[in-house]
């Protein structure tokens, strides 16, 4: 059942890619055609209008689908490290109710989940954090949170358009600002 | 002798109807002379009883003789049922006393023989006794105008043949034979059972007119048949007289068939869950139960006053004919194994059973949901074949009467009372709504308000009113403006202001348009400008997908150009050389006969045409796409066929329902509402 459903979904994504309906989803496809149960997705927040904290960022996700799918939700993790109150910085684990068994509905598909994760980026939930430092920062110092997010993105190099904001093209003043915020962040992380 | 007796018996039974008639006639004649009739009847009765008692006594005597002989056999040889004889026949009572029997003609030990005990001569008085018994029975039956009870197990004719086969040769009539034969155990036992049967007939006739003859007859017959079957081992059955073997072998077979049939029937009952209902043969027994008063006509074609062998034959015929129709094979065909598993069966029923025990009449939605939760069953397991009106109308947790579930339980009067209640409540609500809500609360204050607001408030009045109101409320007070002046007359407002107001739309415009036709300064519009407009139309959609693009595509524009009416208008528009651009009124002036193509009426028809056309296009969508819209949201392969109650989401297929049940998922997969039950929907 799971295999069939996944192929159905795959065919649909091939016919009408999710990126067409939602430009924030860059790609969504299985890692290899041989194993339909392992997928990979890339999501992004291209402009500041999309998200005040994560603008310019792009993240890779790994989607491990269980054999019980769609009766059981797939396991989705961030491969690209991301600073977010509800996402584990190291493992990439996501704290989202619909990814848990209780709130998951078999009527949803992988695209729905990506949309849900994009919405999680837009509205973090600091009350049930996986990354407590990020949650505290988000709650008390949104500007600091923004710069930390941006610093982390710069650190791991996860920008949508690499040309526009690679470290080499960053102006001196910019660099200083980033460094200053970065040192702060380092203190927090440590 | 036996032949003669048999004939008399047959004749007697044929004549019964005639004798009955005679008896009736006698009775009729006897009406006048009561006294005579009474004494005669008594006399007749006494005579009959005497006859019977005499036969009984002689039968008992012969029976005793047979028992004594059996006891003797037990001593002299080893009979089959030796254990029975030693236990039942003590020597004290059944011992063969040589001296005592020396005088008797048929029981004495012959002097020329070495052996002790009677010879086969003893059969003779027994046979005579049987004859006498039959004769008496026939005679009495003839006198009383009844059907004689005959011994059908072993007839007199068969007895005569049997005795002849086993008796000493040359024993004619009342002489003793010279060549002696021992009476054999088998013949003696057959004789004994025959004696019992005759005794049964006469005792039964004396006691209750053989009303329950079948019961003792069955006991005797079964006992004999059991013995007969037991002799099959070691081929001892061959020691029976040939005629008896011929008589009883079929009966044994019949018994066997009945036994097998009965076993099948019992098994069928067991498989059916110990219920008679629905079985082919249950009709016999159910019929019997239904007509308990009519005892004589049992459906098995057996009368209680029948004798065992007749009954056996009748049942046997039934069994064999049934076997011929192969109804045993189909005996289980009517047993309907429930097609539903527990998953499919409606939980409503289970719940109802549970709750009716607690005398809860209306099962409510809340109870069901609670029940589901308590038992950790997902609502998907509750397959409802007939959703109740509550589920269909979707009133959540209403205490409305469950039409589906309670209609059968409630009496007519109760239902009527309930309907009356609902009607009264509705009527009250209607009256209340009309009287209180609309009239008292809206209409009456409205009257006052109207009187007040008829005139427009001037600034002074407004200030005055403002003074009366507490200070903190003063800023909320607005100047009253007459409602009638809200629509602005277009005549009052200058033209350029009109358009801006229209766009801003803060107030309604009066529908009356008194303005003259629009006349513009002559302004040449070149063809190139039109083309450039077209180009812009073409280019815009490519760059930015605006909402205009969604509404009006280049194709639509093309369509307008190519359609004949609009083409005409466009041509007129281009070639118009009057004052300014072509307006509707100008157009109307130019073409008074032809109706304006884009007038109101035509617009409507055009819209309808467009709708129809679009719909027609839509229906031309290939079936695949249509089907893909109906695919189950879970597996996305099967067609949807399950509708969930009460949310009415039609989203899943049967297979996915089952997997949802097995996974114990609760709540609708689409809308997360509590699922009380599901129904299967068929898309033809």
Using CA coordinates, name the residue in chain A closest to B660.
A71
Q: Confirm whether B565 is domain-assigned.
A: no
Over its C-alpha atoms, chain B yields an Rg (Å, rounded) of 55
Chain segment B428-452, per-residue pLDDT in tens: 888 888 887 777 777 777 776 655 5
**CA pair distance A2, A7, nearest whole angstrom:** 9
Position B326 confidence tier, pLDDT thresholds 50, 70, 90: low
- Cα first-last separation, chain B: 84
Q: Which of A4, A72, A107 sits opposite B669 (nearest CB)?
A: A107
Q: Confirm whether B333 is domain-assigned.
A: no
Q: Which range (A117-131, B166-180, B501-515, B530-544) has the least confidence?
A: B530-544
Q: What is the least distance, in Å, from the CA of B570 to any CA of chain A?
A: 38
Answer for the pair A54, A160: CB distance below 8 angstroms, yes or no: no
pLDDT of residue B273: 66
Q: Which of B634, B655, B672 sits opposite A70 (nearest CB)?
A: B634
Q: Confirm whether B481 is domain-assigned.
A: no
**Burial per residue of B513-535, b for 16 or more beta-carbon CB atoms within 10 angstroms, e otherwise:** eeeeeeeeeeeeeeeeeeeeeee
Domain residue extents for chain A: 2-189
CATH number at residue B650: 3.30.40.10
Using CA coordinates, name the residue in chain B closest to A10.
B636
Mean pLDDT on A82-90: 89
Using CA coordinates, name the residue in chain B closest to A2.
B635
Does position A179 have pLDDT exceeding 70, yes or no? no
Chain segment B383-395, per-residue pLDDT in tens: 776 676 666 665 5
Mean pLDDT on B209-219: 79
pLDDT of residue B418: 85
pLDDT of residue A166: 40
- Strands A35-45 and A25-32, how do they pair? antiparallel
B567 contacts: CB under 8 Å, gap ≥ 6: B561
Mean pLDDT on B19-30: 54
Chain segment B141-162, per-residue pLDDT in tens: 877 777 777 776 777 778 777 7
Test mutation, A23, A106, A109, chain B, max B CBs within 10 A: A106
pLDDT of residue B617: 66
Q: What is the least distance, in Å, from the CA of A106 to any CA of chain B?
A: 5
Test mutation, B627, B669, B674, chain A, max A CBs within 10 A: B669
Does position A164 have pLDDT exceeding 50, yes or no? no
Q: Do B637 and A70 touch (CB under 8 A)?
A: no
Q: Which of A5, A68, A72 sits opposite B635 (nearest CB)?
A: A5
**Burial per residue of B323-342, b for 16 or more beta-carbon CB atoms within 10 angstroms, e otherwise:** eeeeebeebbeebeeeeeee
Does position B478 have pLDDT exceeding 70, yes or no? no
Q: Do A5 and B637 touch (CB under 8 A)?
A: yes
Q: Confirm whether B133 is domain-assigned.
A: yes
Q: Do B665 and A8 touch (CB under 8 A)?
A: no
> Is B663 an interface residue toward A (CB < 8 Å)?
yes
Using CA coordinates, name the residue in chain B closest to A11.
B636
ipTM score assigned to the predicted complex: 0.72
Q: Do B659 and A71 touch (CB under 8 A)?
A: yes
> Is A107 an interface residue toward B (CB < 8 Å)?
yes
Which residues from B are below 8 Å from A10, CB to CB? none
In total, the C-beta contacts within 8 angstroms joining chain A to chain B are: 37
Number of neighbours of residue A46 by Cβ within 10 angstroms: 17
* Catalytic (active site) residue A61: no
Q: Which range (B126-140, B510-524, B640-654) has the least confidence?
A: B510-524
Number of neighbours of residue B140 by Cβ within 10 angstroms: 22
> Is B647 an interface residue toward A (CB < 8 Å)?
no
pLDDT of residue B494: 56
Using CA coordinates, name the residue in chain A closest to B652.
A107
pLDDT of residue A75: 92
Per-range mean pLDDT, top range of B106-115, B216-225, B227-236, B547-556: B216-225
- Domain boundary at B208, B241, B274, which? B208
Q: What percent of chain B has pLDDT over 90?
A: 0
Position B77 confidence tier, pLDDT thresholds 50, 70, 90: confident
Q: Do B636 and A71 touch (CB under 8 A)?
A: no
Q: Do B669 and A105 touch (CB under 8 A)?
A: yes
B402 contacts: CB under 8 Å, gap ≥ 6: B362, B363, B388, B390
The chain-wide mean pLDDT, for chain B, equals 69
Query: Which one has a higher pLDDT value, B549 or B63?
Result: B63
pLDDT of residue B26: 56
Chain segment B566-596, per-residue pLDDT in tens: 777 777 777 776 666 667 777 777 765 554 4
Does position B648 have pLDDT exceeding 80, yes or no? yes
Q: Do A8 and B670 touch (CB under 8 A)?
A: no
**CA pair distance A6, A69, nearest whole angstrom:** 8
Does position B551 have pLDDT exceeding 70, yes or no? no
Q: What is the least distance, in Å, from the CA of B383 to any CA of chain A?
A: 20
Q: What is the least distance, in Å, from the CA of B666 to any CA of chain A?
A: 9
Chain segment B87-146, per-residue pLDDT in tens: 777 777 777 777 777 767 677 776 666 666 777 777 778 888 888 888 888 888 877 777
Query: Which one has a higher pLDDT value, B543 or A26?
Result: A26
Helix B214-230 and helix B242-271, axial crossing angle in degrees, nearest 10: 110
Q: Confirm whether B363 is domain-assigned.
A: no
Chain segment A113-128, per-residue pLDDT in tens: 999 999 998 888 888 8
Selected catalytic residue, list A2, A79, A95, A156:
A95
Q: Count of domains in chain B? A: 2
> Is B660 an interface residue toward A (CB < 8 Å)?
yes
Residue B640 lies in domain? 625-680
Q: Which of A1, A68, A105 sits opposite B635 (nearest CB)?
A: A1
> Is A9 an interface residue toward B (CB < 8 Å)?
yes
Q: Do A106 and B636 touch (CB under 8 A)?
A: no
Q: What is the least distance, in Å, from the CA of A139 to any CA of chain B?
A: 31
E strands, B74-154, are: none
Q: What is the least distance, in Å, from the CA of B624 to any CA of chain A?
A: 14
- Domain boundary at B208, B238, B271, which? B208
Q: What percent of chain B has pLDDT over 70?
A: 51
Q: How many helices (H) and strands (E) does chain A have?
A: 7, 4
Q: Which of B637, B655, B669 sits opposite A106 (nearest CB)?
A: B669
- List B residues 533-552 in contact with A (Cβ-Cβ < 8 A): none
Using CA coordinates, name the residue in chain B closest to A8.
B636
Does position B650 have pLDDT exceeding 70, yes or no? yes
Q: What is the least distance, in Å, from the CA of B667 to any CA of chain A?
A: 9
Residue that the structure tokens 């059969």 belong to: B123
> Is A4 an interface residue toward B (CB < 8 Å)?
yes
Long-range contacts of B351-360 (CB under 8 A, 24+ apart): B352/B405
Which residues from A are below 8 Å from B656, CB to CB? 106
pLDDT of residue A62: 92
Does position B337 have pLDDT exceeding 70, yes or no? no
Which residues from A are below 8 Å from B659, CB to CB? 1, 71
Q: Confirm whether B650 is domain-assigned.
A: yes
Q: What is the least distance, in Å, from the CA of B486 to any CA of chain A?
A: 42
Using CA coordinates, name the residue in chain B closest to A70.
B634
Locate A171 and state its tokens: 């102006």
Which residues from B are below 8 Å from A107, CB to CB? 633-634, 651, 669-670
pLDDT of residue A64: 92
- Domain boundary at B186, B208, B230, which? B208
Locate B396 and state its tokens: 């959540």
B86 contacts: CB under 8 Å, gap ≥ 6: B74
Test mutation, B545, B629, B630, B635, chain A, max A CBs within 10 A: B635
> Is B638 an interface residue toward A (CB < 8 Å)?
no
CATH superfamily of the A2-189 domain: Ubiquitin Conjugating Enzyme (3.10.110.10)
> Is B628 an interface residue toward A (CB < 8 Å)?
no
């Amino acid at each position: 059942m799971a295999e069939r459903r996944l192929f159905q979904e795959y065919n649909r994504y091939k016919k009408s890619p999710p990126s067409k309906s939602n430009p924030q989803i860059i790609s969504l496809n299985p890692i290899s055609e041989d194993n339909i149960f392992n997928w990979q997705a890339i999501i992004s927040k291209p402009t500041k209008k999309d998200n005040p904290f994560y603008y310019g960022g792009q993240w890779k996700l790994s989607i491990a689908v269980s054999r019980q799918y769609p009766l059981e939700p797939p396991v989705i993790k961030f491969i690209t490290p991301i600073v977010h109150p509800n996402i584990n910085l190291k493992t990439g684990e996501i704290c989202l109710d619909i990814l848990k068994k209780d709130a998951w509905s078999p009527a949803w598909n992988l695209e729905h989940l990506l949309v849900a994760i994009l919405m999680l980026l837009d509205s973090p939930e600091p009350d049930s954090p996986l990354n407590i430092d990020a949650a505290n920062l988000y709650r008390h110092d949104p500007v600091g949170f923004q710069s930390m997010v941006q610093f982390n993105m710069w650190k791991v190099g996860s920008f949508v358009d690499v040309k526009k904001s690679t470290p080499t093209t960053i102006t001196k003043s910019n660099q200083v600002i980033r460094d200053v915020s970065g040192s702060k962040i380092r203190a927090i992380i440590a | 002798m036996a032949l003669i007796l048999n004939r008399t018996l047959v004749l007697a039974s044929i004549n019964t109807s005639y004798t009955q008639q005679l008896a009736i006639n006698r009775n009729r004649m006897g009406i006048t002379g009561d006294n005579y009739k009474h004494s005669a009847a008594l006399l007749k009765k006494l005579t009959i009883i005497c006859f019977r008692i005499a036969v009984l006594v002689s039968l008992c005597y012969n029976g005793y003789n047979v028992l004594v002989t059996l006891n003797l056999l037990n001593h002299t040889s080893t009979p089959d049922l030796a254990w029975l004889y030693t236990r039942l026949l003590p020597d004290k009572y059944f011992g063969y006393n040589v001296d005592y029997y020396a005088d008797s003609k048929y029981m004495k030990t012959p002097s020329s023989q070495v052996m002790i005990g009677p010879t086969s001569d003893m059969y003779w008085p027994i046979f005579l006794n049987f004859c006498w018994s039959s004769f008496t029975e026939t005679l009495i039956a003839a006198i009383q105008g009844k059907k004689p009870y005959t011994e059908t197990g072993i007839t007199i004719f068969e007895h005569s043949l049997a005795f002849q086969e086993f008796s000493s040769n040359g024993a004619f009539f009342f002489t003793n034979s010279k060549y002696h034969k021992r009476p054999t155990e088998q013949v003696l036992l057959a004789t004994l059972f025959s004696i019992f049967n005759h005794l049964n007939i006469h005792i039964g006739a004396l006691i209750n007119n053989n009303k329950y003859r079948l019961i003792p007859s069955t006991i005797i017959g079964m006992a004999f048949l059991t013995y007969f079957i037991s002799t099959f081992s070691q081929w001892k059955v061959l020691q029976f007289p040939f005629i008896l073997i011929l008589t009883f072998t079929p009966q044994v077979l019949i018994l066997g068939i009945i036994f097998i049939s009965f076993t099948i029937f019992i098994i069928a009952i067991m498989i059916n869950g110990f219920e008679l209902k629905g079985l082919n043969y249950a009709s016999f027994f159910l019929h019997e139960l239904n007509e308990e008063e009519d005892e004589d006509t049992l459906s098995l074609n057996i009368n209680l006053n029948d004798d065992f062998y007749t009954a056996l034959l009748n049942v046997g015929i039934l069994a064999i004919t049934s076997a011929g129709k192969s109804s045993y094979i189909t005996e289980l065909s009517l047993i309907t194994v429930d097609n539903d598993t527990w998953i499919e069966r409606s939980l409503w029923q289970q719940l109802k059973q549970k709750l009716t025990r607690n005398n809860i009449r209306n099962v409510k939605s809340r109870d069901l949901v609670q029940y589901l939760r308590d038992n950790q069953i997902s609502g998907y397991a509750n397959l409802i074949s007939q959703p109740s009106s509550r589920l269909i109308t979707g009133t959540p947790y209403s205490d409305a009467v469950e039409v589906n579930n309670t209609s059968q339980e409630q009496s007519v009067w109760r239902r009527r009372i309930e309907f009356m209640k609902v009607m009264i409540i509705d009527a009250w609500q209607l009256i209340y709504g009309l009287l209180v809500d609309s009239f008292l609360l809206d209409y009456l204050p409205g009257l006052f308000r109207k009187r007040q607001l008829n005139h427009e408030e001037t600034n002074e009045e407004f200030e005055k009113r403002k003074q009366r109101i507490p200070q903190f409320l003063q800023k909320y007070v607005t100047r009253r403006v007459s409602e009638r002046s809200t629509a602005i007359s277009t005549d009052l407002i200058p033209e350029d202001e009109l358009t801006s107001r229209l766009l801003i739309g803060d107030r309604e415009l009066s529908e009356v348009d008194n303005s003259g036709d629009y006349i513009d300064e002559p302004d040449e519009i070149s063809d190139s400008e039109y083309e450039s407009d077209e180009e812009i139309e073409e280019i815009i959609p490519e760059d930015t997908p605006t909402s205009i693009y969604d509404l009006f595509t280049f194709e639509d524009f093309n369509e307008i150009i190519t359609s004949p009416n609009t083409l005409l208008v466009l041509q007129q528009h281009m070639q118009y050389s009057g004052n300014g651009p072509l307006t509707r009124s100008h157009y109307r002036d130019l073409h008074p006969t032809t109706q304006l193509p884009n007038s109101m009426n035509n617009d409507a028809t055009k819209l309808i045409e467009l709708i129809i056309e679009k719909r027609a296009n839509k229906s031309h969508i290939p079936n695949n796409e249509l089907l893909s819209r109906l695919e189950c949201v879970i597996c996305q392969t099967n067609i949807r066929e399950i509708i969930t109650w009460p949310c009415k989401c039609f989203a899943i297929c049967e297979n996915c329902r089952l997997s949802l049940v097995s996974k114990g998922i609760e709540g609708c997969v689409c809308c997360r509402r509590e699922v009380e039950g599901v129904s299967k929907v068929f898309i033809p």
